[in-house]
């Protein structure tokens, strides 16, 4: 089933997860392998595989990712110190889960925007 990503199961609350925010368009929860003191994923409730698959009717949900990111950044106390929002697409970006999501990272200096290949 195309909609059956790990994130879809979290959204449907079939996998116990501490949901930080949920509305009719997006859901937010902590990343299971945090890369910074604050590392939250904000995902569209509709399963959109990648940014290549976004449709005009997704624009409200995609905008909501940003308003929820700003709200959570404030709640986490990193709005003034700063944070980074990342959306990966496909192999070269290292996208692991084919369900569109925004990473909210902060709580430390995050370093260069793009890592050099190892
Ligand atoms: P990406 O590489 O952009 O696809 O990011 C996928 C992220 O999902 C990674 O940072 C994973 O650590 C995270 N992740 C995978 N499974 C779970 C899960 N069950 N709960 C929370 N985060 C997860």
CA distance 99 to 49: 4
Q: Ligand 1: does its nearest atom lie under 6 Å from the Cβ of 6?
A: yes
Q: Ligand 1: does its nearest atom lie under 6 Å from the Cβ of 33?
A: yes
CATH no. of 2-106? 3.30.428.10
Query: Is 109:50 a contact under the CB 8 Å cutoff?
Result: no
Q: What is the pTM of this model?
A: 0.96
pLDDT digits (tens, 9 = 90+) for 38-95: 999 999 999 999 999 999 999 999 999 999 999 999 999 999 999 999 999 999 999 9
Domain boundaries, the chain: 2-106
Concatenate the DSSP letters of all residues of 53-101 into one string. G--GGGHHHHHHHHHHHHHHHHHHT-TTT-EEEE---HHHHT--SSS-E
Mutate to test the pocket of ligand 1, among 5, 10, 41 (most ligand atoms within 8 A of CB): 41
Assign 51 to helix, strand or coil.
helix
Q: Ligand 1: does its nearest atom lie under 6 Å from the Cβ of 31?
A: yes
- 101 catalytic per annotation: yes
């Amino acid at each position: 089933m195309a909609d059956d990503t790990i994130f879809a199961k979290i959204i449907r609350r079939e996998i116990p997860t501490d949901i930080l925010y949920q509305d009719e368009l997006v859901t937010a929860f902590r990343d299971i392998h945090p890369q910074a003191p604050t590392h939250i994923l904000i995902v569209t409730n509709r399963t959109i595989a990648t940014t290549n698959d976004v449709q005009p009717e997704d624009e409200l949900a995609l905008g909501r990712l940003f308003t929820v990111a700003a709200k959570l950044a404030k709640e986490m106390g990193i709005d003034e110190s700063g944070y980074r929002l990342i959306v990966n697409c496909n192999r070269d970006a290292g996208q692991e889960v084919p369900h569109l999501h925004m990473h909210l990272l902060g709580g430390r200096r995050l370093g260069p925007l793009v890592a050099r290949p190892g």
